[in-house]
Amino acid sequence: MPAVEHPLPADDLLRAFLELETPPGFKAELIEGEIVLTPPPDGDHEDAVARFARAVARHAAEELYVSGGRGLITPHGRFVPDAAVAPVGTFRDQGPWTEPAGVALVLEVTSTHPRRDREAKRLGYAAAGIPCYLLIDSDEGRATLFTDPADGDHTVHTQAAFGKPLDLPSPFSFALDTEPLR
């Protein structure tokens, strides 16, 4: 679906966004001043997220919680990553939108808006200080890990073609098998 641009002041736009009712299964995000509706993901998309969550549960050096559909407040808008990973208990007693304090990694799998996943969301997550952004780029056939946020972007980018391992830093401390994420 195309983005819906609103010529409203920022406070009014945020209020309208927070009051928005979406069709079942759709998610709404506020990305750089645009309300973006995304249809439900397909099976391949969901499979990649589930396989990532399983790998974290099996291999991470710490006990981490992988949350799907967690609304995060960033300096660039309100984003809903495919997965947000944080220590167990981080999201307890939180509403649908939360500051990303404690989030160790966000995961996005490209789908209907790959440009937003590659650019706008990367910059928003970096501006929020989220240490790791993992992009599973189906169109490009690779996984990219963006780390070390500074000055509004992640300063380190590590890519692995699907089928090659991708080293995840602490608190994960394991090599992610990217083959099942295709």
Q: How far apart are CA 60 and CA 126, in angstroms?
A: 22
The reported pTM is 0.91
pLDDT digits (tens, 9 = 90+) for 127-154: 999 999 999 999 999 999 999 999 999 9
- Length of the chain (residues): 182
Q: What is the mean pLDDT of the chain?
A: 92
Look up the CATH architecture of domain 41-181: Alpha-Beta Complex (3.90)
Q: What is the CA radius of gyration of the chain?
A: 16
Tens-digit pLDDT string for the chain (182 aa):
445 454 557 888 999 999 999 999 899 999 999 999 999 999 999 999 999 999 999 999 889 999 998 999 999 999 999 999 999 999 999 999 999 999 999 999 998 789 999 999 999 999 999 999 999 999 999 999 999 999 999 999 999 999 999 999 999 999 999 999 98
Q: What are the boundaries of each domain within the chain?
A: 41-181
Residue in this structure with the two tokens 């006990």, named with its chain if needed? 63
CA distances from 60 to 10, 53, 64, 86 (A): 39, 10, 7, 11
Contacts for 143-148: CB closer than 8 Å, 24+ residues apart: 143/176, 143/178, 143/181, 146/122
Task: Name the 3-class secondary structure at 139.
Answer: coil
